[in-house]
Amino acid sequence: MCSKFNNYKIEISYDGSHFHGFQKQSDLKTVQSVIEESIDLILNNYKLNYAGRTDAGVHAKSQIISLSTSGSVNTAFLKSLDSLVGPEIKIKKIQKINNSFHPRFDAKSRVYKYFLQSSNTSEPYNRNYSYLVKTKIELNELKSVERLFIGKKNFKNFSKLRKGQDPFREITKSKWSKRDGYFIYTIEGNSFLHNMVRAIVGCQLAVVENKISKKELASSLIQPQKKRFNYIAPAHGLYLWKIKY
């Protein structure tokens, strides 16, 4: 007689500084490999699905996983798993959910935040968690380009696309703010291409630094150029902030 499998939604956060990204890779430390190696010590039979992947150095305030298993998943399991994954990953919450739930395909939108500081306000202990910009930046300069990305746009120049991959993505929020010395960029969309958010941040900084014009940036989202933009903000300032269902 087959044991009944139940599905669980797990929320985690992690410091991506010392991981080679989220996705499992041979002989490299990744978030996925640490989680699976830890669960292997508790459960014999299970299946995991993930909401998405983050690159090396990128952090997550809220990443979602689903765990399908016939094993016992309770408060003791949460505490055991949280202890096993180590201090760079936090198992925040586990809840039983319907068996059809898939963290990637059921997501309605994803929210990312990017943190940067200007050189005169940065502290050395923040170097792995925000991008230090060497030029002076004003919030109104960043806000002058933030709305260019709102709507359904062609992001061909903002990512290295796979063959046949759709370059169009719909962005519902693109906003700069400033708090406690940080410039914070918040972007929300249905899905994102590889390196897309970092390229969007990098291109906005390029406009502020007069490396490209606002007109060039706007036109690239309608009629992409042959060459991709080469303005990519570093990974360590980026956070997967929230996934909405």
Report the catalytic residues: 55
Q: What is the pTM of this model?
A: 0.94
Quote the pLDDT of residue 1. 43
Which domains, from first to last, does the chain contain?
A: 6-97 (3.30.70.580), 109-244 (3.30.70.660)
Distances (CA, A) of 192 to 47, 107, 136: 25, 12, 29
Per-residue pLDDT for 21 more than 80? yes
pLDDT at 127: 82
Q: Can you say whether the dihedral through the CA atoms of 153, 154, 157, 162 is positive or negative?
A: positive
Confirm if 14 and 93 have CB atoms less than 8 A apart: no
Q: Please state, in angstroms and rounded to a whole number, the distance separating the CA atoms of residues 81 and 69.
A: 15
Decide if pLDDT at 121 tops 70: no
Q: Cα-flanking dihedrals φ and ψ of residue 65, to 5°?
A: -125, 150
Kind and range of the H or E run holding 205: helix 196-208
Q: Confidence class of residue 119 from pLDDT cuts 50, 70 and 90?
A: confident
Average pLDDT of the chain is: 94
Query: What residues have CB less than 8 Å from 27, skipping those under 6 apart?
Result: none
pLDDT of residue 160: 86
Please give the single-letter amino acid code of residue 172: T
Q: Given this model, what pLDDT does residue 122 score?
A: 65
pLDDT tens figures, 22-78 = 999 999 999 999 999 999 999 999 999 999 999 999 999 999 999 999 988 999 999
What are the CA-CA distances from residue 195 to residues 55, 59, 199 (Å)? Answer: 8, 14, 6
pLDDT-based confidence at residue 2 (cuts at 50, 70, 90): low
Q: What is the pLDDT of residues 177-233, one digit of tens each?
A: 999 989 999 999 999 999 999 999 999 999 999 999 999 999 999 999 878 889 999
Contact in structure between 15 and 90 (CB atoms under 8 Å): no
Strand residue runs (E) in 6-85: 6-14, 46-50, 59-69
> Which stretches does DSSP call E strand in 82-228?
89-97, 109-118, 131-133, 151-154, 168-179, 182-189
Asked if 18 and 88 touch (Cβ cutoff 8 Å), the reply is yes
Query: Which residue type occupies 199?
Result: A
